[in-house]
Amino acid sequence: MKYSGWPDPGELVVGKIDEIEDFGVFVDLEEYEDKRGLIHISEVASGWIKNVRDHVREGQIVVCKVLEVDESHEQIDLSLKDVNDHQRSEKIQQWKNEQKADNWMDLAFEDLDDERYGPVANELIAAHGSLYEGFKQAAIHGEEELQTTDLSDEELEAIVETARENVSVPYVNVTGYVDLENPSPTGVDGIREALEAAGGNGEVPEEVDLEVSYVGAPEYRIEVQAPNYKTAEDQLEASADRAIAAIEDQGGEGDYHRERRTDDE
């Protein structure tokens, strides 16, 4: 996806060096449609420069800082020397992530034409700051993370499904709740056994972090952190099932739900 507008002064942009002259370097901006900038020789590197080609080459991908933008003359002044190594690395990674997200859009919407692509992408960008971050949040939290957008249910479903198949995240967190009531003679001891069962009794996979905590009688919170969404959801449901089975063995009752109960429910 390329932006149709203009970059802002101070912004970091990714570009490909198109032409090298004695006075400077022309750069095609990779993130903007039909936009080209100039790095004056004084902005290529610090200190005196004898030959520009000693510092850059045609076809090279570079990260530049936007110094000035003159839309009336279609001129963008750039600086290469004002970008440090950390900024360069971070910006390149961000750019690569957006390219990935652009490909995910094609996977999610095979028949999405240019006229519709923009509005869908812009909804994700408006909600999360970038296309990549929109897909990442969809992979971690599902459709609920995109409820503030104007996307249709079909579009939300396509985005979440594609995100969960393609986005690699360091871990995901999911939360559920279980209500446990035990009117039988085992009382509190029976509930304690059910909570121990919910915790897995030491049988939870090493890569999964599962915690059970008290919310307010008869409600208990189950929190799961796992490497991927499917594992997290499976472990959450398994934990709730163990708790309910254990409390029913004691003569009590259990109920699993994803949202916390309110006092008037």
User: So where are the chain's domains?
Assistant: 12-83, 87-166, 172-257
Cis geometry, peptide bond prior to residue 9 (ω within 30 degrees of 0): no
67-71, 79-83, 135-139, 165-169, range with the lowest pLDDT: 165-169
Percent of the chain with pLDDT strictly greater than 90 = 63
Q: For domain 12-83, give its CATH number from 3.40.50.1100, 2.40.50.140, 3.30.300.30, 3.40.50.1370.
A: 2.40.50.140
Confidence of residue 176 (pLDDT cuts 50, 70, 90): very high
Task: Using the predicted structure, report yes or no on whether residue 262 has a pLDDT greater than 80.
Answer: no
Q: Quick one: average pLDDT of 220-247?
A: 91
Task: Using the predicted structure, report yes or no on whether residue 170 has a pLDDT greater than 80.
Answer: no
Whether 12-83 and 172-257 share one fold: the answer is no
User: pTM of the entire structure?
Assistant: 0.63
Strands (DSSP E) found in 132-186: 172-181
Question: Which CATH number does 172-257 carry?
Answer: 3.30.70.1130
Q: For residue 264, what pLDDT is reported? A: 47
Strands (DSSP E) found in the chain: 12-21, 24-29, 36-40, 61-70, 75-79, 172-181, 209-216, 219-226, 253-257
* Class of domain 87-166 (CATH, top level): mainly alpha
Cβ(120)–Cβ(112) under 8 Å? yes
Task: Using the predicted structure, report yes or no on whether residue 1 has a pLDDT greater than 80.
Answer: no
